[in-house]
Amino acid sequence: MAVKEIAIVAGEASGDLLGSLLIKSVQAAEVDAGFYGIAGPKMQSAGARSLFPMEALSVRGYVEALGSLRKILGIRRSLKKQLLARPPQLFIGVDAPDFNLALESRLKRAGIPTLHFISPSIWAWRPKRIRKIARAASHVLLVFPFEEAIYQQAGIPATYVGHPLAHALPEPNRKAARERLGLAQDGEYVALLPGSRLGELQALGRLYVEAAKHIALARPQTRFLIPLATRETRQAFERILYEADARELPLRILFGHAHDAMQAADAALIASGTATLEALLLDCPHVISYRVPWLTWQIMKRQALLPWIGLPNILAERTVVPEILQDQATPEALGQAIEELLANEEARMAQIEVFRVQRARLKRDTPRLIAEVVRSFL
């Protein structure tokens, strides 16, 4: 039997992780398929062949994307031309809706089935995108339970598969994580996660370092962990430490190990995004913070439907995790929020109790459900 060709595109580190889990799910179901397209290191390790560097698509925010727009559009045109010239059995867009939905629309019109993995957050902002999704996707894989009703009402074929991370991540174990990282079991640790993309690190890294300096003054016993995924982000962060005169900060840079850092930490300061969901799944109490350029923030505010941006709060439909954003996100405010969390075990446990309820909602036999949908197109 000939190998089925599946084209797949992810646009950033979180999509790379989700794409790798999807590929492994299909492989575990003994579907004889080959994957190619735009893939990060995790997808490539799972067997995907990348035709273009995923980092070229990893752009943060409206304003920031303008500088890379010509390059991104050129990649999309080139990829579209290749896929139309040699059609795959299936195209899978992993998140990255601004890149993938337009590509999916063109491929779908050409008769190529399209599967979109992870719904754009139409429940949080830009709800009119549901029309674009209807034109683009033959089927959508949903990862949050409340999304089912939205897609049923819109008449778009969709399957709730649970969240792959809820299935893939182990049960949290702080003791084991600290042993793996060589940390003191009785130490006090704060994880800093300013984002996986270089642009996020450049925008938020100095803010997080200054917040850590504030915490260290108030709580000299605290040690800091920062997991960085690439050589570029590590070099950029080392420059930030130098510029902030923070090289004496009791901080350990980890190459990867973000999940271990979250499990090991007593608390974390995290940029809004998939990392906040990972913290929920790993029982990591945290504070959410984010900053974007003024114009990007104005656009986001006007299109927002919910009062929260953090996934733990959106899932719980109430404020469980503090969100300190934009102009309110000062080193003093962030430092004080983390200090209060460290000093209050009851507050940390209150977050964790909510996290465990939501984790149960997100757990399904995700690999089997994903593989069933993919197989139906092959």
Q: Where are the domains of the chain?
A: 4-162+363-377, 174-361
Query: What is the average per-residue pLDDT within 288-305?
Result: 74
Taking the C-alpha atoms of residue 205 and residue 290, their distance in angstroms, rounded to an integer, is: 11
List the one residue out of 200, 197, 189, 198 whose CA is nearest residue 226. 189
pTM of the model: 0.81
SS3 of 7, please? Answer: strand
From residue 211, how far is each of 167, 245, 320 by CA, in Å?
33, 13, 21
295 pLDDT higher than 80: no
Task: Give pLDDT, residue 273.
Answer: 83
Q: Do domains 4-162+363-377 and 174-361 have the same CATH topology?
A: yes
Of 31 and 219, the structure prediction assigns the larger pLDDT to 219
Topology classification of domain 174-361? Rossmann fold (3.40.50)
* Total residues belonging to the chain: 378
Residues near 309 by Cβ (< 8 Å), separated by ≥ 6? Answer: 124, 272, 288, 290, 323, 325
- Quick one: pLDDT band at residue 339, thresholds 50, 70, 90? very high
Task: Give pLDDT, residue 272.
Answer: 86
Taking the C-alpha atoms of residue 95 and residue 10, their distance in angstroms, rounded to an integer, is: 7
| Amino acid residing at 97 | P
- Percent residues over pLDDT 70 in the chain: 95
- DSSP 8-state symbol, 320: -
List the one residue out of 117, 97, 142 whose CA is nearest residue 26. 117
From residue 287, how far is each of 9, 89, 277 by CA, in Å?
31, 43, 12
Task: Give pLDDT, residue 127.
Answer: 83
Strands (E), 214-300: 222-228, 251-255, 267-271, 286-290
Q: Mean pLDDT, the chain, as a whole number?
A: 91
Taking the C-alpha atoms of residue 359 and residue 180, their distance in angstroms, rounded to an integer, is: 24
> What pLDDT digit, counting tens, does each position of 65-112 carry?
555 788 889 999 999 999 999 999 999 999 999 999 999 999 999 999
- DSSP 8-state symbol, 12: S
Of 125 and 336, the structure prediction assigns the larger pLDDT to 336
8 Å CB contact between 215 and 222? yes
Task: Give pLDDT, residue 305.
Answer: 59
Query: What is the average per-residue pLDDT within 205-215?
Result: 97
Torsions phi, psi for 305 (to 5 deg) = -105, -20
Question: Looking at domain 4-162+363-377, does it have CATH number 3.40.50.2000?
Answer: yes
8 Å CB contact between 244 and 209? yes
> What pLDDT digit, counting tens, does each position of 122-158 carry?
877 778 899 999 999 999 999 999 899 999 999 999 9
187 pLDDT higher than 80: yes
**Beta strands at 90-94 and 323-325: parallel, antiparallel or unpaired:** unpaired
Taking the C-alpha atoms of residue 166 and residue 281, their distance in angstroms, rounded to an integer, is: 6
> What pLDDT digit, counting tens, does each position of 304-321 carry?
656 788 899 999 999 999
> What pLDDT digit, counting tens, does each position of 154-179 carry?
999 999 999 988 988 989 999 999 99
